[in-house]
């Protein structure tokens, strides 16, 4: 497998430790280091797959960001909602 990371997928210069893709392929999550603790970010997959969508400022890249989360062990994509993703 070859994995390419767009430059806009980042945690403000902090490391990303995990990536998970939603089963329907429309979004993905990154988990890693935040400012003082863990960070989870939900991203739109469309700008990754379509160059025109990446250039379109009306199509959001980041969908949700959650800071200060520790010990995340499960990503419940079924019933997807930002508040479900991290318990901290």
Distance from C-alpha of 70 to C-alpha of 72, rounded to nearest angstrom: 6
pLDDT at 87: 45
Mean pLDDT of 44-52: 94
Read off the pTM: 0.76
pLDDT at 31: 87
Burial of 25 (0-12, 13-18, 19+ CB in 10 A): exposed
- CA 59 remoteness from chain centre: 15
% of the chain surpassing 90 pLDDT: 36
Mean pLDDT of 8-18: 89
The vertex-26 CA angle with 19 and 57, nearest 5°, equals 100
* Residue entry with tokens 């379109």: 56
């Amino acid at each position: 497998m070859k994995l390419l990371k767009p430059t806009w997928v980042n945690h403000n210069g902090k490391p990303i430790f995990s990536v998970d893709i939603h089963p329907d392929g429309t979004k993905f999550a990154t988990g890693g280091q935040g400012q003082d603790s863990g960070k989870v970010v939900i991203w739109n997959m469309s700008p990754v797959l379509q160059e025109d969508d990446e250039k379109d400022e009306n199509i959001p890249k980041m969908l949700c960001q959650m800071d200060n989360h520790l010990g995340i062990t499960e990503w419940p994509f079924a019933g997807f909602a930002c508040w479900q993703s991290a318990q901290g």
